[in-house]
Amino acid sequence: MRAMEGSGSSDAPSPDLAAAAARAASTARDRFAVRRAALFWQEEGSDGLTCIAAAGEGGAEGWLGRTLAAGVGMAGRAVAEGRPVWSADLLADSRVPIAAWLRERLEREGLHSVAATPLRVGGVVRGALGLLDGAGRSFDDEDLRRLARLADEAALDLERAI
């Protein structure tokens, strides 16, 4: 498999896993009408998360292969807490650490509001599905429940792909 730039991992996801992740990100973006959706994956034995799919204007450039350390960003927080989480303005949220590359992407794309939920494959948290949108977007409890249901659906597809 090919190496992914900035991933800290020597292996890219399998084509089946990449395709399942891309479907999940695209579906999330469409269902929630957000500017971007991203799927972060945690390889077995790793604490970090790698972006293996992103859907949004401009494609996945600047997202794929980028990594988040444990607990970093909303994806890391969702994985650490094992539940859906969100921030009205991640760039200004002092409770959530942000990787330098992620801050740059959020600023460049004008993304402030971020929601994420863990992805459980075979009962084990293996990643997170995130929604990213402009300032002023909010995610209520029902939105977070819908996102969690979508992640559960995506997890079935991801499980078949690994």
pLDDT band with cut points at 50, 70 and 90 for residue 47: confident
Position 9 scores a pLDDT of 43
Position 13 scores a pLDDT of 86
Position 137 scores a pLDDT of 97
Element (H, E) at 125: strand 124-133
Whether residue 3 is contained in a domain is answered as: no
The pLDDT > 70 percentage for the chain reads: 93
3 or 146: which leads in pLDDT: 146
pLDDT tens digits, 49-76 = 999 999 999 899 999 999 999 999 999 9
Domain that includes residue 105, residue range: 15-161
Position 1 scores a pLDDT of 25
Give buried/exposed letters for 38-68 (b at 16+ CB in 10 A, else e).
bbbbbbeeeebbbbbbbbbeeebebbbbbbb
pLDDT tens digits, 26-43 = 999 999 999 999 999 998
The secondary structure of 24-73 as a DSSP string is HHHHHHHHHT-SEEEEEE--TT-SSEEEEEEEETTTTTTTTT-EE-TT-H
Whether residue 8 is contained in a domain is answered as: no
**Residue 145 belongs to a domain with what CATH number?**
3.30.450.40
Whether residue 10 is contained in a domain is answered as: no
Whether residue 65 is contained in a domain is answered as: yes
Whether residue 6 is contained in a domain is answered as: no
1 or 150: which leads in pLDDT: 150
Position 162 scores a pLDDT of 86
pLDDT tens digits, 72-82 = 999 999 999 99
The CA-atom distances, in angstroms, between 159 and each of 16, 122, 123 are 10, 7, 10
Whether residue 124 is contained in a domain is answered as: yes
Position 11 scores a pLDDT of 62
Q: For the chain, how far is it from start to end, CA to CA, in angstroms?
A: 14
Q: How many structural domains are present in the chain? A: 1
Whether residue 9 is contained in a domain is answered as: no
The pLDDT > 90 percentage for the chain reads: 86
Whether residue 27 is contained in a domain is answered as: yes
